[in-house]
């Protein structure tokens, strides 16, 4: 009978452990475990012990260049085989590029279902309860999955990793990918890295976003200054990106990025539901808006009603002062 939790961990491009891996292991442990973690890619063996310290009872290492970079055709046969062997009750992946592609394709192989982009997971007896946003982030829906394994992908930072404990014991096993080049139908001809300066929006603990209320692209210079002082990143509403005031990759929301900082400062953003969909997991929202009835205030911990041009410079100087104190 299916039991335990199987998670598919991930390495970063520079060979580290993608933080979502530890979050998945923690989520699996919170569900009752035991957690088996798959680490696939090239040069990933050195990361296995980190997974054990993070709470995995077993790590299956599949070290093979055919698995780097991620390609569904190469991963699916390997993931299907390991899933059959482990026979987990619950299978988790990150809501990452890999998880988005692999999870539904794997679910199809097992005639089961997958709840994507979950923000919370719990068990009701043997039944996984997967919670995910719906209606553009204005509500949350709870899903039960009838098939086996019960599958979900987890949004980054939805779960706190367990405190690392190097005394934790775990089994580390190596397996071959068992995939040949002729099984991979796609060919990656080129990879280009998005030029990014400073902290990535998705990783930032502080995000300062600007909307149409800034009045023009010049306003973003002020936001960038504050982001630099606070070690944060700058985001934007879709209205701003559509107007060409700020680059499209910085768009936050339903059709942009989902961000999960501890602090989100929204300047001149009305708080349309499509924007809120990208910030529903933010711990603290602070809004500056001249309209006291703006929707953004409904979700804000702190709000300042007024013209951002009058409020923001003083706010920035105060933060600078506190930072240098
Ligand atoms: C299918 C679909 C997908 C979408 N996806 C996204 C998405 O991913 N992300 C997203 O952001 N939007 C998205 N949108 C657009 C969304 O509906 C809103 O139009 C957009 O978020 C509005 O951006 P805004 O808040 O910057 O502009 P506005 O709605 O124009 O709001 C500007 C705000 O600035 C305030 N303001 C004006 N002047 C000042 C001032 N001097 N000082 C302080 N405040 C001031 C105003 O009171 C107002 O609240 C989507 C829409 C659709 C239909």
Whether residues 125 and 25 fall in one domain: yes
Per-residue confidence (pLDDT) for residue 156, from 0 to 100? 87
213 and 152 in one domain? Answer: no
Q: What is the CA radius of gyration of the chain?
A: 22
* C-beta of residue 211 within 8 angstroms of C-beta of residue 238: no
User: Nearest CA to 263 among 310, 219, 298, 230?
Assistant: 230
> In terms of domains, do 27 and 60 share one?
yes
Indicate whether 177 and 210 sit together in one domain.
no
Tell me if 155 sits within 8 A of 116, measured CB to CB.
Answer: no
d(CA 234, ligand 1 centre) in Å: 16
pLDDT at position 198 is 73
Per-residue pLDDT tens over the stretch 258-299: 899 999 999 999 999 999 999 988 989 999 999 999 999 999
Residue 189 lies in a domain: no
Do residues 213 and 171 both lie within one domain?
Answer: no
In a domain, 191, yes or no: no
CATH code for the domain of 117: 3.40.50.620
Sheet holding 150-154, edge to edge: 114-118, 150-154, 90-94, 5-8, 35-41, 58-63, 171-174
Write the burial class of residue 62 (CB in 10 Å: 0-12 exposed, 13-18 middle, 19+ buried): buried
Residue 17 inside a domain? The answer is: yes
Same domain, 15 and 89: yes
SS3 150: strand
Residue 271 lies in a domain: yes
Supply the angle between the helices 308-324 and 219-230 in degrees, to the nearest 10: 20
Do 231 and 95 have their domain in common?
no
Could you give the number of structural domains in the chain? 2
Q: What is the pLDDT of residue 85?
A: 98
Is 162 found in the same domain as 73?
A: yes
Q: How far is CA 218 from CA 214, 236, 275, in A?
A: 8, 13, 22
Same domain as 56, residue 142: yes
Indicate whether 145 belongs to any domain.
yes
> What is the whole-number distance in angstroms between the Cα of residue 150 and the centre of ligand 1?
38
Q: Is 215 left (phi over 0), alpha (psi -120 to 50) or beta?
A: left
Residues whose CB falls within 8 Å of the CB of residue 74, separated by 6 or more in sequence, listed in order: 66, 67, 177, 179, 183, 184
Q: What are the phi and psi torsion angles at 14 (to 5°)?
A: -95, 20
**Mutation probe of ligand 1 site: the residue of 246, 270, 271, 304 with most atoms within 8 A of C-beta:** 270
Strands (E), the chain: 5-8, 35-41, 58-63, 90-94, 114-118, 120-124, 127-134, 139-143, 150-154, 171-174, 206-210, 233-236, 263-267, 284-289, 302-305
Residue 193 lies in a domain: no
Cβ of residue 288 lying under 6 Å from some atom of ligand 1? yes
Residue 71 resides in a domain: yes
* Residue at a domain's end among 151, 183, 215: 183
* Distance between Cα 118 and ligand 1 center (Å): 26
Q: Is 307 in the pocket of ligand 1 (CB under 6 A)?
A: yes
Residue 134, pLDDT score: 84
Q: Is 195 within the bounds of a domain?
A: no
pLDDT per residue, tens digit, the chain (325 aa), is: 899 999 999 999 889 999 999 999 999 999 999 999 999 999 999 999 999 999 999 999 999 999 999 999 999 999 999 999 999 999 999 999 999 999 999 999 999 999 999 999 999 999 999 999 887 777 889 999 999 999 999 998 889 999 999 999 999 999 999 999 999 998 888 888 766 667 889 889 999 999 999 999 999 999 999 999 999 999 999 999 999 999 999 999 988 998 999 999 999 999 999 999 999 889 899 999 999 999 999 999 999 999 999 999 999 999 999 988 8
Residue 182, pLDDT score: 92
Question: ∠318-322-325 over CA atoms, to 5°?
Answer: 135
Which atom of ligand 1 sits closest to the CA of residue 278?
Answer: 8
Residues of the domain holding 314: 206-324
Q: Which residues pair with 7 in a beta bridge?
A: 37, 92
* CB neighbourhood size of 176 (10 A): 10
Whole-model pTM? 0.78
Q: Are residues 173 and 45 in the same domain?
A: yes
DSSP state of 274: H
The pLDDT score that the predictor gives to residue 133 is 85
CATH number at residue 287: 3.40.50.1220
Mark whether 211 and 177 lie in a shared domain: no
Last residue of a domain, one of 149, 168, 183: 183
pLDDT, tens only, 128-166: 999 998 877 778 899 999 999 999 999 988 899 999 999
pLDDT value at residue 252: 96
State whether 227 and 160 are in the same domain: no
Q: Which residues contact 94 (CB under 8 A, 6 or more apart)?
A: 8, 10, 18, 20, 21, 23, 24, 153, 154, 156
């Amino acid at each position: 009978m299916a039991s335990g939790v199987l998670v598919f961990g991930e390495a970063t491009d520079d060979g580290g452990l993608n933080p979502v891996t530890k979050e998945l292991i923690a989520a699996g442990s919170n569900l009752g475990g035991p957690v088996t973690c798959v680490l696939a890619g090239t040069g990933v063996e050195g990361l296995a012990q980190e997974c054990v310290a993070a709470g995995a009872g077993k790590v299956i290492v599949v070290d093979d260049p055919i698995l780097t970079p991620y390609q569904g055709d190469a991963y699916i046969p390997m993931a299907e085989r390991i899933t059959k062997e482990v026979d987990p009750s619950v299978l988790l992946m990150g809501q990452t590029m890999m998880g988005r592609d692999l999870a539904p394709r794997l679910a199809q192989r097992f005639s089961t279902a997958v709840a994507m982009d979950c923000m919370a997971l719990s068990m009701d007896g043997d039944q996984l309860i997967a919670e995910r946003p719906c209606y553009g982030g204005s509500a949350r829906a709870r899903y039960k999955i009838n098939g086996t394994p019960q599958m979900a992908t987890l949004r980054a930072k939805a779960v706190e990793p367990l405190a690392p404990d190097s005394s934790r014991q775990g089994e580390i096993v190596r397996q071959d990918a068992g995939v040949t080049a002729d099984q991979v139908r796609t060919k990656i001809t080129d990879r280009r890295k998005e030029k990014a300066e400073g902290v990535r929006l998705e990783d930032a603990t502080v995000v300062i976003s600007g909307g149409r209320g800034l009045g023009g692209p010049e306003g973003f210079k002020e936001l960038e200054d504050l982001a630099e002082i606070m070690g944060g990143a700058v985001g934007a509403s879709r209205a701003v990106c559509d107007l060409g005031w700020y680059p499209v990759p910085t768009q936050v929301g339903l059709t942009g990025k989902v961000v999960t900082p501890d602090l989100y400062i929204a300047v001149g953003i009305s708080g349309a539901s499509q924007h809120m969909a990208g910030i529903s997991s933010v711990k603290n929202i602070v809004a500056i808006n001249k309209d006291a009835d703006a929707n953004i205030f409904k979700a804000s911990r702190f709000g300042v009603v007024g013209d951002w041009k009058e409020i923001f410079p003083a706010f920035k100087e105060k933060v600078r002062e506190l930072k240098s104190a």
